[in-house]
Amino acid sequence: MRYTILNILREKKGYVSGEELGDMLGVSRAAIWKSITKLKEEGYEINSVNKKGYCLDDSKDILNKHELKYDNAIYLKETDSTNNECKRQAEKGCADGLLVVSEYQSKGKGRLGRAWSSEPSAGLYMSIVLKPEISPSEAPQLTLIAGMAVTKAIRSITGLKVGIKWPNDVVINGKKLCGILTEMSAEIDRIKYVVTGIGVNINNSSFDAELKNKATSIYIETGKSYKRSVFADTIVNELMGYYDIFCKKGFSGLRDEYNKYCLNKGKIVRTTGKNAIKGKALGVNDRGELLIETDTSIVPVLSGEVSLRLENNKYI
């Protein structure tokens, strides 16, 4: 009942008396008061004025199951990692497209075994289970699709001209806004399921000394706070739209749009590792490989980290 009351207060956008709410729902004013109290305990800011009733301040960032409009979603106050929870759900036979969102991760994971800082009430931590009929070698393409979904969502909600540093970092002004980690369970020739984890710095106001020169947040870039639930719903809807195209046409159906977001394209890049490659990035091909033009050839790079050439101490 409390969420029905919450929806009424949202629609009215003003004060609604306890008597009116009681008449609408067929309950006593005492029952209304109890529901209002529970909503306040969940973090909702509801003002009450004698003889006027209740009014919702809907600007506050609240993340819970009710705030998520995506149907196939699980919300957890805390978990070890949303990727781990998705894997547990996948092993139980969950449906394709299951979304897991958590307020806090005690063991958030990034790429290459790194930890992912999971500040509660600031960032968005979500993972999704996907079950495409593709070979394991095609799984990295899902990471690129997730990067596209996050980029498009952030652009549409905030207007920020974020882009993708291949393969999976969503960045602005040379600093990272989002990390994406894809894990899979597979047999030799088929995928059982893929879990794509997405962590977005949304309302973080600062970062520790180790991260402050590498990471940023939507709040830092815009000076505005945002509702994380809006980002969760927008990202997953964009992702599932891209996923539908991917399942029908493969990554080739998304390559051109990815290249529009790819910040590496046209820049001098270098790969890390033993056999480092340096050259001009031409964008990605139909397999999601980054094409690097060296002095002697064009080399496709499937995985690994790419560093952008620095100019004036800023990523270009």
111: CATH: 3.30.930.10
Give the whole-angstrom CA distance, residue 28 versus residue 252.
59
The reported pLDDT for the residue numbered 251 is 96
The reported pLDDT for the residue numbered 275 is 80
298: CATH: 2.30.30.100
Residues 9, 116 within the same domain: no
The reported pLDDT for the residue numbered 120 is 65
Residues 229, 92 within the same domain: yes
The reported pLDDT for the residue numbered 314 is 47
The reported pLDDT for the residue numbered 243 is 98
C-beta of residue 225 within 8 angstroms of C-beta of residue 219 = yes
Instruction: Provide the residue-wise pLDDT of the chain in tens; the chain has 316 residues.
Output: 999 999 999 999 899 999 999 999 999 999 999 999 999 999 999 999 998 999 999 999 999 999 999 999 999 999 999 999 999 999 999 999 999 999 998 876 655 455 555 566 789 999 999 999 999 999 999 999 999 999 999 999 999 999 999 998 999 998 999 999 999 999 888 899 999 999 999 999 998 888 888 899 999 999 999 999 999 999 999 999 999 999 999 999 999 999 999 999 999 998 887 788 899 999 999 999 999 999 999 999 987 667 655 444 444 4
Give the whole-angstrom CA distance, residue 8 versus residue 301.
53
The reported pLDDT for the residue numbered 211 is 85
Residues 8, 138 within the same domain: no
Question: Looking at the domain assignment, is residue 39 inside a domain?
Answer: yes
The reported pLDDT for the residue numbered 96 is 97
The reported pLDDT for the residue numbered 205 is 92
The residue from 246, 261, 276 where one domain ends is 261
The reported pLDDT for the residue numbered 102 is 95
Residues 161, 229 within the same domain: yes
Q: Total domain count for the chain?
A: 3
- pTM score of the predicted model: 0.90
The reported pLDDT for the residue numbered 7 is 95
The reported pLDDT for the residue numbered 98 is 98
Question: Looking at the domain assignment, is residue 166 inside a domain?
Answer: yes
Residues 99, 140 within the same domain: yes
Cross-strand bridge partners of residue 195: 129, 183
Residues of the domain holding 155: 73-261
Question: Looking at the domain assignment, is residue 68 inside a domain?
Answer: no
Residues 169, 302 within the same domain: no
